[in-house]
Amino acid sequence: MQTIENGKAIAETLLQLSGLYHYYERKLRSHILHDPLPNHVAIILDGNRRWARLNFLNADKGHFMGADKAEELLNWIHDIGIRITTLYILSTENLNRNDEEINNIYDLLCVKLQKLYNDSRIHKRKMKIKAIGNVKLVPPELQKILYDLEKATCEYDSMFLNIAVAYGGQKELVDAIKRIAGMAVAGDIRVEDINEKTIESCLYTSHLPQPEPDLVLRTSGEKRLSGFLLWQSAYSEIVFMDVFWPQFRKIDFMRAIRIYQNRVRKYGL
pTM, 2 dp: 0.91
Does residue 2 fall inside a structural domain?
Answer: no
Q: What is the DSSP letter of 36?
A: P
Does residue 135 fall inside a structural domain?
Answer: yes
Which one of the listed residues 39, 55, 60, 94 is annotated catalytic?
94
Does residue 8 fall inside a structural domain?
Answer: no
Does residue 21 fall inside a structural domain?
Answer: no
Residue 81 reports pLDDT greater than 70: yes
Give residue 43's domain range. Answer: 37-262
Q: Specify the CATH number for the domain of residue 191.
A: 3.40.1180.10
Supply the pLDDT for residue 2: 47
Distance in Å from the first CA to the final CA of the chain: 35
**CB pairs under 8 A, 24+ apart, for 4-7?**
5/54
Which one of the listed residues 46, 48, 162, 214 is annotated catalytic?
46
CB-based burial of residue 230 (10 Å sphere; 0-12 exposed, 13-18 middle, 19+ buried)?
A: middle
Does residue 241 fall inside a structural domain?
Answer: yes
175 counts as catalytic: no
Does residue 13 fall inside a structural domain?
Answer: no
46 counts as catalytic: yes
Mean pLDDT of all residues in 67-76: 95
176 or 6, greater pLDDT: 176
- What sign results for the dihedral spanned by CA atoms 64, 69, 73, 76? positive
Cα–Cα distance for residue pair 259/223, rounded to 1 Å: 16
- How many domains does the chain fold into? 1
Supply the pLDDT for residue 267: 78
Per-residue pLDDT tens for 201-243?
999 999 999 999 999 999 999 999 999 999 999 999 999 999 9
